[in-house]
Chain A
Amino acid sequence: MNSHIFQNNHAMWAILFVFSIFPIFSSILDLPFWNDVLMRIMLLGIAAMGLNLILGFGGMVSFGHAAFLGIGAYCAGISQFFGLDNGWLQLAITIFICGSLGLIIGFLALRTTGIYFIMITLAFAQMIYFFFVSLEKFGGDDGLIIDRSDFIIIDLYEPLRLYYLILATLIFTSILLTMIVHSRFGVILRAIKSNESRVEAMGITTLRFKIIAYVISAIVCGIAGCLFASWQEFVSPDIMHWTRSGELMIIIILGGLTYIAGPLVGAVVFLLLEEILPELLHFFAPSIAENWMVIFGPMLVAVVIFGKGGIMGLLSNYFDRGRNV
């Protein structure tokens, strides 16, 4: 009965499939560096998908979600600082802390809407950012060098273990979010995005639904951050700089914010271009290679203007599927 909600999601399955077989090619071609790039894509893809639950499906433009990414990373970092290097426990701590913090921030911030909501979420994120900058004990601005977490049965120092742990998390997140978006809860959330006053008039306390969605999205971002720490083997406030929140939003809009696979597609395109574009320019036009963003920026603008609904919107127009989600 549930299978059809996954069927109309070719882009997501295609990307997950490519991710799962990519290490074979990278080992044949001896390009281990690209495994690293893909892990980064997957991690930010998870975070963007989490953010998109409230942004694309709930209409809540949170400009501070990198904070949860950072908190997840520090949950791993600080746990390890105190000698707790069990990755499962670190994940549990992350879920608890990001969930509680999401509840508090959501409870306060969701009383506002529109531009005020954007500003208040940014303000909370900045508070959290400077809180960690000021924590001298944990490296402050310079951050904290850490080991990869110990996931007991999975030794992350063995080749590809971290890669497949991240991939498994990505697959789990994708399936979970697909189910949530199509569930009764998800339907109400999307209805709130479209017309909150009507939903309220039907007898639904919309604030409650918005807070729950906010908490879920905070937890997903936190999990991405917790794994991010192991990938980077380093945690610093940099991970939750406000520009990262912006980056997550660009990824979502680029990919298509009304599609579950949108943020994932966006992460692939955005982060691959970030890697490839400077190289290409080095080759063809070395004089401007350093300023590759001059090319990158207009490309993003073009996709947003011409492809209403981002890359997924363009794709679904092309294949004439028309239908969202």
Chain B
Amino acid sequence: MCEIVLEISDITKKFGALVATDSVSLEVKKGEIHALIGPNGAGKTTLVSQIFGDLSPDSGSILLNSRDITKLSVAERSNGGIGRSFQISNVITDFTVLENAIVAEISKSRTGLKFFSPAFQDRGLIAAANKTLGKTNIEHLAQRKVADIGHGERRLLELALALSSDPTLVLLDEPMAGAGPAETKFMTKAISKLREKTSVLLIEHDMDVVFQLADRISVLVEGKIVASGLPDQISQNKRVQEAYLGSTL
């Protein structure tokens, strides 16, 4: 049961004199939702970027399913089982919702090097893409242009794309950012259901959401993990309260 999906050991990343990630170690277990919280500028996104491969750490190692992925590219890590939703909505805006899911499907099936038969008319692809959209219940948006749908709907699309490859670990970087109350409620439900299929590393500002969802919480302050544990332990932790001075946990 305590199988470890993601194991980060002692990674450090410096930007000049600024130590953005200061020998951070972190574990995400199978089937758990692990929340990473911390005040603005604590280095959460920098940490996630290193897990996903946009940035490479100066030292330390990252293991996914006991396999060292520290040196792999973004695409290789994605194929290795990491799905990601970005802090800022990141979808293919020139395409429709369904076409976005089709791109994900082409990637998953590794059939991108087919040059002749039309892709958007391929029944197999469309069916698989609709299934992907079903993961966040947005099939009804399929024919809409991404540019025309609401912000919250984009977040749902992004989550669907992150899940399309059936990843073993999903990185959710502020999935609620910009979503309305109803969408937040729906997203919370959708994320909590992910436990059955995958593990989640969740970065989120909304503390209500974090305490509703997280099985474990790690707190990042100025590039260091200052506390890690069960939600109850975290909310009682003095150092965490100091870091969040003014905000109630």
Query: Contact residues of A with B, CB < 8 Å?
Result: 1-2, 4-5, 179-180, 182-188, 190-191, 193-195, 197-206, 209, 212
Whether a CB of chain A sits under 8 angstroms from the CB of B111 is yes
Q: Report B104-122 CB contacts with A as 1/0, cut-off 8 Å.
A: 1011100111111111111
Q: Which residues of A are found within 8 Å of B118, using beta-carbon distances?
A: 1-2, 4-5, 179, 182-183
Give B contacts to A, CB under 8 Å.
52, 54, 73-76, 78-79, 84, 86, 90-95, 99, 102-104, 106-108, 111-122, 125, 161, 164-165
B75 touches A204 (CB 8 A): yes
In the bound complex, do residue B94 and residue A201 qualify as a contact, i.e. CB atoms below 8 Å apart? no
A204 to B95, CA, bound (A): 17
Q: In the complex, are the beta carbons of B121 and A5 less than 8 A apart?
A: yes
Q: Is there an interface contact between A187 and B52, defined as CB atoms closer than 8 Å?
A: no
Provide the residues of chain B in CB contact with A190, threshold 8 Å: 94-95
What residues on A are CB-neighbors of B52 within 8 Å? 201
CB contact under 8 A between A202 and B104, given known A183-B117, A187-B119? yes
Interchain CB contact (< 8 A) of B75 among A191, A193, A205: A205
Contact A179 B103 (CB under 8 A): no
In Å, the complex CA distance between A187 and B118 comes to 9
Bound Cα distance A182, B115 (Å): 8
Q: A202-B164, A203-B78 are in contact. Are A184 and B106 (CB under 8 A)?
A: yes
Q: Which chain B residue lies CB-closest to A189? A: B112
User: 11 new A-B pairs (CB below 8 Å) besides A184-B115, A187-B120, A201-B86?
Assistant: A5-B121, A183-B119, A184-B106, A184-B125, A198-B86, A198-B90, A200-B74, A203-B76, A203-B79, A203-B107, A209-B112
Instruction: State which of B94, B99, B112 has its C-beta within 8 Å of the C-beta of A204.
Output: B112
Query: How many angstroms between the C-alpha atoms of A212 and B112 in the bound complex?
Result: 11
Q: Let me know if B161 and A202 touch, CB within 8 A.
A: yes
- Cα–Cα distance between A193 and B125 once the two chains are bound (Å): 21
A201-B90 in contact (CB<8A) = yes
Q: How long is the Cα–Cα vector from A256 to B119 in the complex, in angstroms? A: 23
Where chain A touches its partner, the secondary structure class is helix
The answer to whether A187 touches B73, judged by C-beta atoms less than 8 angstroms apart, is no
For the complex formed, measure the closest distance between the CB of B48 and the CB atoms of chain A, giving whole angstroms.
Answer: 12
Taking a contact as CB atoms under 8 Å apart, the answer to whether A185 and B90 are in contact is: no
In the complex, 27 of the A-B residue pairs with CB atoms within 8 angstroms, ordered by the A residue number, are A1-B117, A1-B121, A179-B116, A179-B118, A182-B118, A183-B115, A183-B118, A183-B119, A184-B114, A184-B125, A187-B119, A187-B120, A190-B95, A195-B93, A197-B90, A198-B91, A201-B86, A202-B104, A202-B107, A203-B76, A203-B78, A203-B79, A203-B107, A203-B108, A203-B165, A204-B75, A209-B112
B residues within 8 A CB of A195? 90-93
Most buried by B among A1, A193, A201: A201
Closest to A181 in B: B118
A-chain residues with CB within 8 Å of residue B73 when the two chains form the complex: 205
Tell me the minimal C-beta distance from A271 to chain B in angstroms. 30
Task: Collect the chain B residues with CB atoms within 8 Å of residue A199's CB.
Answer: 92, 103, 107
A5 surroundings in chain B (CB, below 8 A) = 118, 121
Given contacts A194-B92, A194-B93, contact A201 B120 (CB under 8 A): no
Complex Cα distance, B102 from A193, in Å, reads: 16
Q: Specify which chain A residues have a CB less than 8 angstroms from the CB of B99 in the assembled complex.
A: 187
Residue numbers in B under 8 Å from A200 (CB-CB): 74-75, 78
